[in-house]
Amino acid sequence: MRRFKLFILIIIAVSSFSCKPIYKCGEAKPEKKLFLPKFILTVIDERDSLCHTLTLKENMILNLNDAINTKDENYKKLENQYNELSDAKLSQSEQFSNTLKQKSDELKQKSETLAEKEALLQDREKALYEMQKIIARQDSITKRLNDILRDALLSFKSDELSVEVKNGKVYVSMSDKLLFKSGSAAIEDKGLEAIKVLAEVLDKNSDIDILVEGHTDNIPIKTSLYKDNWDLSVARATSIVRILTDNYKISPLRLTASGKGEFSPRDTNATPEGRARNRRTEIILSPKLDEIMKLLKVN
């Protein structure tokens, strides 16, 4: 109680020592010296120190509030950036997933296509292998037929008759010297002997197709029977075909008669020897192609 009374007295004393009131807390300290008791001045200094400290604390609080607000703003920005990145990553993940699925589907389709092509290739390789076996067998037949005909026709001279293999076929070439008189399609006796030997071989080899092809030189011909060399070459081929079918019962289904006249010469027509070689009838023997044609149709 005594202290309270003392504080009141101090206040009254301060008021009595100045015509103006003491400056307020936070105001600038007057330049004029205050004539107050020492303990009053001490109280005022303590008050000013407390006011200064309070101002500093208030400023610190304001700075802290500003920092908190700045951090809140930065946090919101970071949160927004995070959300945007999350959305972007999710979108990228979806795109990656869709792309991966698309690539997977494409790979699956390519794999299926490749499997189909491999199966097709295997089928073709199998067909090719079968065809090679057939061709090899036909080549074997051709070679055997060539050997048989050479042995069977040994009694005929080389300028009358020749046997050779070309393009997988056996060519039996008979000169007109052996078969026909000039300008005629009637077969001579010696020619009939050769045809008989040939027919016996063909009868035992029914898997052989027979093409009879007539050829002449380029010396023009015109008779009551034949208009030109083409007519004559066809007539000579037809004569041999009829002998084979009528006399030796060779199936007509195996036979073809054709004539090329002077248009497929073997030698030059400029010399007698060359023209003699061009006047010929070729009997072309080839293995049947039925098996190969079946394979080609299947594939």
- Answer whether residue 13 shows pLDDT above 70: no
Is the pLDDT score of 209 beyond 80?
A: yes
User: 165 φ, ψ to 5°?
Assistant: -105, 125
Above 60 in pLDDT, residue 16?
no
Q: Which of 41-45, 107-111, 167-171, 272-276 has the lowest mean pLDDT?
A: 41-45
pTM over 0.95: no
Tens of pLDDT along 140-174?
888 999 999 999 999 999 999 999 999 889 999 99
pLDDT band, residue 101 (cuts 50/70/90): confident
H or E segment and range at residue 175: strand 169-175
What integer is the mean pLDDT of 62-68?
86
Judged by average pLDDT, the poorest of 31-40, 205-214, 218-227 is: 31-40
Res 276 pLDDT > 60: yes
- Residue 89: other Cβ atoms inside 10 A: 11
Query: Residue 243 CA to chain centroid, in angstroms?
Result: 57
Q: Which of 245, 271, 152, 261 has its CA nearest to residue 213?
A: 261
> Do the Cβ atoms of 103 and 110 come closer than 8 Å?
no
Residue with tokens 């898997």: 207
Q: Is the pLDDT of residue 4 over 80?
A: no
2 vs 67: which has the higher pLDDT: 67
In the chain the domains, ranked by start, together with CATH numbers, are 135-298 (3.30.1330.60)
Mean pLDDT, the chain, as a whole number? Answer: 85
- Residues in Cβ contact with 48 at an 8 Å cutoff, skipping those fewer than 6 apart: 25, 29
Place of tokens 């794999």: 111
Mean pLDDT of 65-71: 86
Q: Is the pLDDT of residue 80 over 60?
A: yes
| Residue 239 and residue 186 in contact, taking contact as beta carbons nearer than 8 Å | yes
Give the up-direction half-sphere exposure of residue 24: CA atoms within 13 A in the CB hemisphere: 2
Q: How many CA within 13 A on the CB side of residue 8? A: 5
**Between 193 and 123, whose confidence is greater?**
193
